Amino acid sequence: MSKPRRYWMMKSEPDAFSIDDLARVGTEPWNGVRNYQARNFMRDGMRVGDGVMFYHSNCKVPGIVGLATVASAAYPDSTQFDSRSHYFDPKATQETPRWFLVDIAFERKLRRIIPLEEIRSYADELGEGFALTARGSRLSVFPVTTSQWKLLLSLE
């Protein structure tokens, strides 16, 4: 019996990497995550085939813009070892990497952006633990329950 599919939200600034960029390349390593909780979600929680909501942050209309799929098991983020990279971590070594990533594959763009303001209006239905609407939460990768996934997609 296969494990039930899990769901995730992954945030990116569109001027750094957008849903259109993912559509163009097809599959991309989700590198540069430097938050331990977000890393743990990728390293310990994500499985190939899990669903991903792609969210544009820090832009004129932040919101959910597309869907993707987890396309690889977690593996060390190579940017942590590159001293020229913005994401270089001098404490990381090949033997004991600190940062992990997964590849994500483009599924589709949504028919419309589901803006954060609209998502906030469903905060009660999404629950107080929903990281996107939780006060002070700045996670770039976090789990989404099946009911949250269905509710958010119904807004499309």
Q: Where are the domains of the chain?
A: 7-150
| Confidence band, pLDDT 50/70/90 cuts, at residue 128 | confident
Report the share of the chain in percent with pLDDT over 70. 97
Q: Is the pLDDT of residue 88 over 60?
A: yes
Q: Is the pLDDT of residue 5 over 90?
A: no
108 has which bridge partners? 67
9 has which bridge partners? 53, 142
- Residues 126-132: contacts with CB under 8 Å, at least 24 apart: 126/151, 126/152, 131/9, 132/9, 132/55
CATH topology of domain 7-150: ph1033 like fold (3.10.590)
Q: Is the pLDDT of residue 4 over 80?
A: no
22 contacts 106 by C-beta, under 8 angstroms = yes
Give the number of other CB atoms < 10 A from CB of residue 105: 17
Q: Is the pLDDT of residue 1 over 80?
A: no
Task: Provide the whole-model pTM.
Answer: 0.93
CA terminus-to-terminus distance, the chain: 32
C-alpha 61/C-alpha 87 separation (Å) is 26
Give the mean pLDDT of the chain: 95
Write down the pLDDT at residue 146: 95
